[in-house]
Every structure is written in structure tokens, then in C-alpha cells.
Chain A
Amino acid sequence: MLFLQAGINGILLGGIYTCVALGFSLVWGVMNVINIAHGTFVMLGAYVTYWAFSLLGLDPFLSVPLSMAVLFLIGYLTQWGLINRLVRAPIFMTLVLTFGLDMLIVNLALMAWKANYRSVNPRYASLSLSAGGLVVPYTRLAIFGVSLIISLLFYLFMTRTRTGRAIQATRMDLEAARLVGVRIGRIYGLTFGISTAMAGGAGALLAIVAPVSPIMGGAYLGKVFLICVLGGLGSTAGALVGGMVLGMFETGAAVVFGPGYQDAVSLVLLLLVLILRPSGLLGRAYY
């Protein structure tokens, strides 16, 4: 029973993870940039929701589009100003850049908002669905639902709109896309913006169930990497499955080993997956 509850919690949590992972894998797949600061954008999204809630009384679910919009803008500008400069650089330079960015943003946030945990408590937070000994708060169900909607919208955007397809084309073959007239700089800006928007949306949802603080984004790098490696870059369904699998593993581990091991689980899993995957899937293609 405990495991079933944990399993359900895990799946519900997985929805948020999926949104975060979709954004991360988009930038990785299209721009070959691993954004170490991605978790920090999640944090920013959570803060937008928090401030909207405490200053304006805006219901957190309603601030999801707000967070997404704000983060889209932040992402677009960040890409235009910074990331753009290093897109063709060796990998470890972009890694250092995003690490520095992460450090900068987190510490600015710490300076501005202090390290205390904030929470968003809408009035309906305690309502839940009970069935057969299992308890599922409505908020969690709603969060899961919204994250699925966001993921679906993401998928539709990528596959059905012209811009989305331009992004996919850029991903598959940069030169060809350029030749066909795709404006790479703009595409990259949009890509990064969408990525941070996804992170922002996830952050907004996260704020409803988790405490908000400047350092909350830290654990996400390991998690999203695992989801991308498991689910495959560029696959929405893969991110969905990966997100839920991770969610379940984490809640399961918390039950078996204790809450302190939750983050360690994703790291160890990540290592195992990286090590055990047949090298043919990971190495560079020869020709």
C-alpha cells in the first residue's frame, strides 16, 4: 500500500519532471548546449508564481502562463546575449558558461530574496481524493494534468507549426537549414526561450507543492540528464516515460532508504545508465 501510494506520488511528480526535461533536451538536441542553469530557470518560474500569489493574490495555476511568458523572455534574452556567443565552442566552454550563469543567478536570487523557504498555499491545497486507503491531493492531480497539457502543447508546437519544424530542421542539419533560409540566430533564441518557458511552467507548478528557495533548482541537472538519456533526446513520449519512471524511483527510494536518498537515487541511476548502455548508442558516429 505504501508502495502504491509512493508509486502514484511518483507518477504525479513525473509530470513536472517531464516538462523540465523537455526544455532541457530541446536545447541539448538543437544547440548541443547542456544548460547547467536549467534548474535555476525552474526556480525563477517558481518565484514568479510565489510573488504573483503573495503580492497579487494570483492563483498559482493561473500564473503558469505568466511564469512561462516571463521565463520565455528571460531565456530569449539570455540566449541572444550570452549563449549565442559560444554555440560553436568546444563543449566544456558552454558548460562553464552555463555554470557561471547558474552561479550568478542563484546568488543574485539569494541576495535579493534570502535563503528562507517560501510556500504558496492556495485555499484548496488540503483538499484531496481518497480511495481505498490512497490519498491524492487534488492539487497534485491538477498539476499532473497541467503538465500533461503543457507537454502536449509542446509536442504540437514542435510538429505542427512552421517555427517548430524549422527548429527540428535546424536540429537535424544546421547547414541545410541555413541554406534553406532559416535564420539560425532567431531559431536558437526561440529554442532557448521555449526551453526556459518549459522550465518556468514546471517551476510554477512545483511552487504549489514544494518549498520555494533560490537553491531549489540544484538537484535538477542530474534528474533531467537521466530522463534525457533514458528517454532519448527529442522524444516527447520518451521524456514523459522517463519523467514518470524517475518520479517513481525517487518516491520508492524515499520509502525504502529514507528521504535523504531521494536525490542520490537519480545520480546513481544516471551513472548506471551511462555505464551500462551499449557504447554503440553513445559514441560518436563514425561517418
Chain B
Amino acid sequence: MEKIYCPSCGKPNPIDNKFCDFCLTQFHPQEGDSADSEAPSVPGIGDNQNGLGGHESDSNVPDWLSELQQSNEMEDEKPLDSDPELGQPANAISDWMTGVSGDGEATVGEVSPAAPFLPDQGIDESQDIPHWLNDALIEEEAQDSVEDERPGEVPLGGEGRDVSQGDSSPPKISEETPGDRENAGPLAGLRGVLSAEAGAARVRKPRTYSAKLKVSTSQRAHIDLLNSLLEDEGQPQPLPQRRSISQQHVLRLGIALVLLLAILWPIVIASQEMPFPDYDEGSAEVNRLISQLPENARVLVGFDFEPGLAAELDTAAAPVFDHLLSEGALLTLISTSPSGPLLAERFIRSIKPDQELISGLEYVNLGYIPGGAVGLLSFIENPQGTIPFTIDGLSAWETEGRNGLPATTGISQITDYSMVILLVDDPDTARTWIEQLGPTITNPQVLTSFVLITSAQLEPVVRPYYESSPQPVNGLVVGLRGGAAYARIIGSDEFPGKFWDAFGMGTFVAALLILVGGLGYYVIPELSRTARGQEKVKR
């Protein structure tokens, strides 16, 4: 079959084509056009006069454009018939389209691009339909067949119309009447402009999609949850009520009850069965030191403990002071805590209730030394300047014009005291006293001894000082045990027996609770966890 080659894209076209199958370039029509005519016109180029403001006669206007202009002028005189359905002039077929017959042999530049799309222009089998057009047509036919198909019927237009087989008819194109021209746009004024709906594209009603959002069940659940969260945000939520009785609560109450019962038993039955400790080294050393004191020795006593532990320290110190007073010692009481002077006063009055000690005579209460380490250092360096008066307002020290109190007679510095006894419950306070007084005490020329009567909680902290050499602490009575040992050494009945029995019962029950309770608290959950694990494995 003969072919023509498009002057624009150079691709082969069947000779009968008026337009190029690939770029729709118009080939020149046969009348008035020669085979060697100039370049083909591209369809749709409008009249410069009407649309683009061109000029009538211009030597630079190409021939094809001038031809178009001429044809437009000719058609202006003719009435236009409009197609009421399409809204376009019915005979809007331009000159370049009227010459299309489809019979002659196509030559280069003579084929109209609209040729395959004109009505009643059967497609020659010999024509080579491009594959993209073929596919599009097949698709359109398929869509049409779906719409028109009735069960059992062969779809109109055949099945999968294949244009290349030449068994289908070209799509209908609405006829355009001569004289129809484009009214708007860049192609205004031109005739024969391909209308959008004229075969180039099938106007199809677009598929209607529902405006309603399709929400799945899980998405709906999420939306509801978010809405509820947002609604709850503004509303105050009641706090979850704590359980009034928890497991920890029950355990603590149980421990308290068991401990109270254990302590109450020896107190209620008033038994004094538990023996005092046999021997305590620290207490024995204190006993030895007190026994070596001279007659009417001046002893400085520091009361540096909290009122909460008054029961322990008063009980532990009672036999020591019983011994001390029996040796005729004169006491000077001081304290580095504000409640110390009151504790000292209370203790002194309770030692011998039947033989009240006289303040200023047998003892002197100097009161409170503020400042901790600073105050102690000041007292050690200059006791008279640091505390010139007793807590009762009496002048405490001997001066040139005045006799001092018996307990402070002959005292000008701290090393003038025969012994310093400290009742203490706090590790920091004990350490402060030892640090400030220790270097003075450990001087070989100083004969003052330093004794501690401490709470049981202090034993590990003060023992390094007691066990060291040189020894800043010469004697140590620790807690209730130390006091009981001291009472046994001197054979004193100042130590309350039922206190010791209750203490023994209490410490035993406490140790048992910690041991048994701790093991049970640990082992039972572990066993149950292991059992649960084994059950899971069995399943």
C-alpha cells in the first residue's frame, strides 16, 4: 500500500489520510493544492483578523494562513446553521475539511487530519491504525458495551472492537456546517476548529462517586474513642479511691500488734527473770575509772540527746551516776542542744528522788552552748567566758572578788575536770565532741578521762575511737545492755528489771519477725511464681 510521510513528524501514513495519524497535521487538500505544495497546515489555526488581531494583506503571511483567511472570508457570507443540540454551527466544517473525500490517492501534504474522524468515512482496511488509537477505541467500545449490554445479547459494536481488523465503524462525528467558526479562546474566528466533543474525545458523563465517606468498623471505634476523650477532657474526673486497708497496712498493723504483745507480757506479769549481761568491757572500764576518782572530784557531764531517747539513756546512765554520786563527785552539767539543760535537770532530780540534789551545791547546770563545734571549742578554750552564768542566772565561776560554786571551784580550763562524761544519741554530736576534746584528752600530761554513755545506735560509730591508740575515748557504756552490765558490776538496784525483761522479749520478737517475715515475704511469692510458670508450661 502506498504511504505518505507527514511533513511534520515524518511518520508514514496511509495515502488516503487527510491528517497525520500521529501529530494530526493536515495534509493539503487536492483542489488548489499541488503535490509539491508548501508545508501542510495545522488544524485549528484561526483567522488572524478575528481572533488574533492580524492584518489583511501582509507579504510575510504564509500561504497557508492566507488561504485560511480567504476561505474564512468566503464563508462569512454564508448563513450559518447551528446545531441546536451541540450548540455549534451545524456546518462548521472548514474548507480544509470539505475537500476530504477519502477516495483519491493520498499524497504528501494533501491528506486532511480529520479524515478518519469524518462521518461515513469508513476506515479502510488498508489503513494502518495506530495502536494507541486502537486501544482507546477498544476501551470506549467496551464501556459502551457494558452500559448497553443486556443478558444474552451480543454487545453492540461487537466484542472488543478492533479497528485494525477493519470490522468496525468509526465514531460518529457531529457535522459542522460551513461557516461555523470558533467564538472564543485563542482559536476565535477560525473555522473548522475541531470541537472538543467532535470525535476527538468522547464526552462521557464522569463516574459519580458518593460524597459519603466510607468508614470501616474499626475506624468508627477509633472515632468514638477520640470523641469520648475530648468530651471527658473538660469534665473533672473523680480521683480513684485508695483502698482503705492495703496489704502493707495489714502487715504493719500485724507487726505492731505482735511487738506490743511481746513487750506487754513481761510488764503485765511483772517478772524479772532475765539475767543481766555477764561482762561488758566498756562498762567495766568506766567502772574502773570512776572508782579511781578522788574525793569530791569535779566531773563535767554533757547531756546531748533528744528527749525521745530519754528512756534509754536515763535507764543506762542511772547506775553510772548512782556510782558517781556515791563517790562524792560534784557535777557540772552542760549541753550543746537547747533541750539538753532541761533533760539534765530532769535526770538529776530523778536519780535520787528521796535525796534531792541541790543546784549550785552538788551540781551546777551551765545550760546551753550554742554553735556545735564552735561552741564546744570556745568552751574548751575558755569555759568562763563562754558560759559565765548558770541557767538559773547565778555566776558560775570563781573570780577574784567572788567565790564560785563548789562544783566549779578550781576550774579554769576543761582539763581541770577529773572526768568528762557525755550522754549522747547522735553520731554527729558524738563525733564533734570527740574531735574537739580528743586532742586535749590524748595529751599524755592531761589526766582527764573521757567517758561516753551512748544510745545503742552509736556503738559502731564511737567504737573506732574507743578501739584506737592513742585513745580519745577511755570508757564506753552502750545502751540498755551497757547499763545493765554496769548495774550488775556495782550490784545496783537502780536498773529496772522489768524494763530489761521487756527489752529482751522485744529484741527477740523483732529479730524473729525480720527473719521469718522477710524469708516468707520473699520465698512465698517466688514459689507461687514458679508454680504459675510450671502450670503455663504444662498447658
The judgment on whether A and B are partners is no
